[in-house]
Amino acid sequence: MARLVAVAAGGPAGLAAYGVIVTEPRYLRSLVSTVVLAAVVTALTLVIATIAGVFLQRNRFPGRSVLVAMLTFPLAFPGVVVGFMVIMLAGRQGLIGDLTRLVTGERLVFAYSMAGLLTGYLYFSIPRVILTVMAAAEKLDPRLEEAARSLGASSWQVVRDVIVPGLRPAFLSAGAICFATAMGAFGTAFTLATEIEVLPMTIYTEFTLRANIVVAAALSIILGGITWLALALARTAAGSSVAASA
Amino acid sequence: MARRGRGFWAQLAFTVLVAAFLIVPVAMSITAGITANFFQGVKSGLTTRWIAEVWRLYRDTIFLSMTIALATLVVDLAIGVPAAYVLARWRGWLPRLVEEALVLPIAIPGLATALALILAYGTWREFRTSWVFILVGHVLFTLPFMVRAVLAVLSSIDLPTLEEGARSLGASFRQRFFGVVLPNVRAGILAGALMVVTLSIGEFNMTWMLHTPLTKTLPVGLADSYASMRLEIGSAYTVMFFFMIIPLLIGIQLAARPRKPATLRDEAA
Amino acid sequence: MSVAIKLVSCAKTFADGTRAVGPLDLEIPPGETIVFLGPSGCGKTTTLRLIAGLESPNPGGRVLFDEADVTEISIERRNVGMVFQSYALFPNMTVGGNVEYGLRVRKLPAAARAARVEEMLGMMKIGELRHRRVDQLSGGQKQRVALARALAPQPRVLLLDEPLTALDAKLRDALRVEIDALLRRLRMTAVYVTHDQAEAMALGDRIVVMSQGQVAQVGRPRDIYFAPQSRFVAEFVGTMNRLHGVVRNGHLEVMGGRVPWRGRGGGEVEVLFRPERAAIVEAGAGQVKGRVATSFFLGDRTRLLVEGVSSGTLVVETTDRRDWEPGQDVHLVIDPDALLTLDR
């Protein structure tokens, strides 16, 4: 697989293609906005999934398993379906539009903007990360919390000093995978494609519409490089196999 | 014991909100798929017309997706299980390097793999236009998941000792592999298999680049219907997709459920 | 500093309906080391957790520290020191950080914290480990850190939940001696949970033997050992032999002979005695005769399993250097005062 990508890079213009990416503002802008978007999605997902995941792991109440099932159902949705879900929520006939029209008289439609893309990325990231967080929270030693409490720690201090450090490896691995998936997500962007320039869309456009194969290949390699770097960094920081919990 | 204070209810509300965010659009698309006119709402009447329409237009994509998913599974089983065994059994720099390469399907976007495949084999016409071309892409994408699922179980069962035990009882390599190794990694193989089928059925990023008008898979068809059909048809099609993956998801959940420990020894633990 | 602990009709039923403890009443005077001893599942850990405040008793049960009712006070404000079997050291902190933690959450000034950490590490003889990560420690070192951490905030009570169970035998003995010395010196009320009767004997001022959520007997170690009040206590603490026979003419007649009978009653009885109360004697001098079934050479002594005296097998120990063979005859004298008659 790696060899094939290398073949792709060895095109006629070779290394010059990389120069184009840095100098051509359109490519650079696409690259930067993709990285920023992926980073924001990762941060938001971690916060949301941690609150929900730890809560679900800690508490037993009627309806809990239904909630877990609901939260993990979208796990297997391809990007296109996720895009369609965003259209259902925030598209021209979407629920949010209906609700905002009732309240303000204006239809709020953001499915086809960066906000829509962010929504879509959150949509497919949350289930994965919740599963990882729940698995990690289950493995936390309850004695550690009891020890902290016996030493006088308040519940907030227990969260800060025991739970969050205990979940750190899960945060790193789930975060890295979340970031990598968001960087390379194509289906969602494709379905919502109107005003959005993210890297996978740029690659697709260059390849199919402009037949600019060399730039497409170079962009792919940069994309792969960034995601690989994110995974490798998280792996080093966690000191164990990130991939194992993908 | 959990004291259900304000914190509990706040967190519950938050979790319910997140679940609603994920499930409301699913419910909406199911409704849309069986509503005569979604713009007018459910009062326009329920109908199976859109489902029938989807079946007429897109049933080939469903069959092709199933074919590719099963073919991918067969190839992954044939290559992935022995590969995982080799990785688990032999130490050295080469197996470690291969393990490192197993993160690749996450690191390398499907789009890039597709590009590479097209650049490498795109001129080979018969191959390019056959569904086997997509199969190759799917195997490249899913194989590491199978290997990792099996490897995870293999590395948790102290394989060398099991095999030494079998050898001390006089089992040959063949007998050991089929009689000891495989039964003990059944859970990993099952988890991997369900994962592979689910991933293959839902794969879009790569397949969109690899497909031809005659080799459209389900997600490709979905994208097509979202772009060019009315909302109700897209919804009905999505509903059919949901019904295809629900059994797989339930299977994954059951396979992942840890077996209960045999004894309840630890008092009050 | 140390407090008296009082449990008043404390019972604990878990959410799934299992009754783990009691209701039980218990008073622990200040400065006493009390050991909860019992097989796993007997409720000893749950009782400890009730004292700690990790569990709350069923309605009606009360936990008192001195005369103050602490039932409603959660563990973080109860000021108890806890030591766990699994150590429960915070892996994200150094040894020093662990010991300092209780002081840090109490917002003590940095200088006071540093001094106290120093003192605690010195007391546990682990001063040089201060900057180590906890995953670099041996089991014994970990338990020392756990003790130092529990003691650093000057708790009112020290609670130890099987603290030595995870250690190997030699280390367990060494640390047991140290914990004993520490508790004597600190004169702190301590509650110690274990399933190991040797540990309980060595450490406890008093022992609470528990069975199925109830107190089977409370008493000083020697009372528990020499005067068990029930068959369960007798057989759980130490080794017990059973003699089955008929009392007739001032003797207990068993399969292998007869032993003088000083008890009351008559007819068919079953009595218990400890192995060390039987002595091996020459052929003519014995009261009862049996046959060696198996012998275990233990170095300082030999343990014999003897059959033919009563319906079961008896355990007898001897310090002689003879090489006992299975099938060999063995003659015993049993101290008549050692025979215990206990209800089933």
Instruction: Give the helix ranges, DSSP H, for C136-168.
Output: 139-151
Residue B259: is its pLDDT beyond 80? no
Q: What is the DSSP string of A38-86?
A: HHHHHHHHHHHHHHHHHHHHH---TTHHHHHHHHHGGGG--HHHHHHHH
CA distances from C33 to A52, C30, C81 (A): 44, 9, 14
pLDDT value of position A195: 64
Rg of chain B over Cα atoms, rounded to whole angstroms, equals 23
Which position has the higher pLDDT, A161 or C286?
A161
For chain B, the residue count is: 269
Q: Answer whether C97 touches A (CB < 8 Å).
A: no
Looking at every residue in chain B, the average pLDDT score rounds to 79
Please give the biggest Cα pair distance in chain A.
Answer: 68
Are the beta carbons of A100 and A107 closer than 8 angstroms?
Answer: yes
Fold that domain C5-236 belongs to in CATH: Rossmann fold (3.40.50)
Average pLDDT, 10 consecutive residues per value, chain C (344 residues):
87 86 90 92 91 90 90 88 89 90 90 93 90 89 92 92 86 88 89 91 92 92 90 88 86 86 80 88 85 89 88 87 87 86 70
Residue with tokens 């009882």: B169
Q: How far is A177 from chain B (nearest CA, A)?
A: 7
Q: Both tokens of residue B262?
A: 């045999």
Q: Answer whether A207 touches B (CB < 8 Å).
A: yes
Q: In chain A, which among 90-149 make CB contacts under 8 A with chain B?
A: 93, 95, 122-123, 126-127
CA distance B14 to B25: 18
Alpha carbons within 13 angstroms on the beta-carbon side of residue C308 total 16
Q: How far is C279 from chain A (nearest CA, A)?
A: 48
Are the beta carbons of A178 and A45 closer than 8 angstroms?
Answer: yes
Residue A10: is its pLDDT beyond 70? no
Tell me which H or E stretch contains C271: strand C267-273
| Cα separation of the two ends of chain B | 13
Are the beta carbons of C48 and C220 closer than 8 angstroms?
Answer: no
Q: Answer whether A44 touches B (CB < 8 Å).
A: no
Q: How far is C104 from chain A (nearest CA, A)?
A: 9
CA distances from C261 to A93, B82, C113, C248, C256 (A): 98, 74, 66, 9, 15
Whether residue C46 and residue B266 make contact (CB cut-off 8 A), yes or no, is no
DSSP designation for B151: H
Are the beta carbons of A223 and A185 closer than 8 angstroms?
Answer: no
Q: Answer whether B227 touches C (CB < 8 Å).
A: no
Closest CA to A45 of A124, A125, A112: A125
The full set of domain ranges for chain C reads: 5-236, 241-338
- Residue C10, judged by CB atoms within 10 A of its CB (0-12, 13-18, 19+), counts as buried
Q: Which residues of A touch C75 (CB under 8 A)?
A: 146, 149-150
**Subunits with at least 3 CB pairs below 8 A relative to chain A?**
B, C
CA distance C238 to C231: 12
* Residue B55, in any domain of the structure: no
Residue B12 CA, chain-centre distance (Å), reads 30
Nearest CB partner across the interface for A220, out of B7, B111, B198: B111
Q: Please give the CATH number for the structural domain made up of C241-338.
A: 2.40.50.140
**A223-238 average pLDDT score:** 82
Enter the ipTM.
0.81
Phi first, then psi: what are they for A82, rounded to 5°? -60, -45
CA distance A90 to A108: 7
* Residue B13, in any domain of the structure: no
Q: Which residues pair with C278 in a beta bridge?
A: C334
Interface contacts (B, C; CB < 8 Å): 22
Whether residue A153 and residue C76 make contact (CB cut-off 8 A), yes or no, is yes
- Under an 8 Å CB criterion, which residues of A touch C? 141, 143-144, 146-154, 157, 161-162, 165-166, 168
Q: Answer whether C82 touches A (CB < 8 Å).
A: yes
CA distance B114 to A190: 16
* Residue B255, in any domain of the structure: no
Please give the biggest Cα pair distance in chain B.
Answer: 74
* Residue B174, in any domain of the structure: yes
One-letter amino acid for residue B240 of the chain: M
Give the residue from A150, A159, A240 with the most C CB atoms within 10 Å of its CB, the best one to mutate. A150
* Residue B159, in any domain of the structure: yes
CA distance C203 to C221: 9
pLDDT cut 90: percent of chain C above it: 35
CA distance B65 to B244: 11
pLDDT value of position A245: 37
Are the beta carbons of C145 and C99 closer than 8 angstroms?
Answer: yes
Are the beta carbons of C33 and C58 closer than 8 angstroms?
Answer: no
The CATH number of the domain holding residue B194 is 1.10.3720.10
CA distance B248 to C167: 46
Q: Which residues pair with C24 in a beta bridge?
A: C10
Number of domains in chain B: 1
Whether omega before C23 lies within 30 degrees of 0, making that bond cis, reads: yes
- Give residue-wise pLDDT tens across range B22-76: 888 888 888 887 877 777 777 777 777 787 777 877 778 888 888 888 999 999 8
Nearest CB partner across the interface for C153, out of A146, A147, A152: A152
Whether residue A2 and residue B101 make contact (CB cut-off 8 A), yes or no, is yes
Residue with tokens 């002595």: C279
CA distances from C116 to A114, A170, A193, C31 (A): 55, 35, 63, 22
Are the beta carbons of C225 and C273 closer than 8 angstroms?
Answer: no
pLDDT value of position C76: 86
pLDDT cut 70: percent of chain B above it: 91
Q: Answer whether C52 touches A (CB < 8 Å).
A: yes
* Residue B36, in any domain of the structure: no
Alpha carbons within 13 angstroms on the beta-carbon side of residue B176 total 16
CA distance B218 to C117: 65
Residue B124: is its pLDDT beyond 90? no
Are the beta carbons of B149 and B195 closer than 8 angstroms?
Answer: yes
CA distances from A207 to A216, B114, B118 (A): 6, 11, 11
Whether residue A161 and residue C74 make contact (CB cut-off 8 A), yes or no, is no
Full residue range of the structural domain in which residue B64 is found:
60-229
Residue A154: is its pLDDT beyond 50? yes
Which of A94-98, B144-148, B156-160 holds the top average pLDDT? B144-148
Confidence of residue B258 (pLDDT cuts 50, 70, 90): low
Are the beta carbons of C95 and C121 closer than 8 angstroms?
Answer: yes
Identify the structural domains of chain A with CATH numbers, from first to last.
14-245 (1.10.3720.10)
Residue with tokens 């969050």: A164
pLDDT value of position C95: 93
Q: How far is B12 from chain C (nearest CA, A)?
A: 21
CA distance B21 to B17: 6
- Give residue-wise pLDDT tens across range A17-70: 566 666 677 788 888 888 999 999 999 999 999 999 988 888 888 888 888 888
pLDDT value of position C310: 85
Give the residue from A146, A151, A160, A167 with the most C CB atoms within 10 Å of its CB, the best one to mutate. A151
Residue A4: is its pLDDT beyond 70? no
Whether omega before C336 lies within 30 degrees of 0, making that bond cis, reads: no
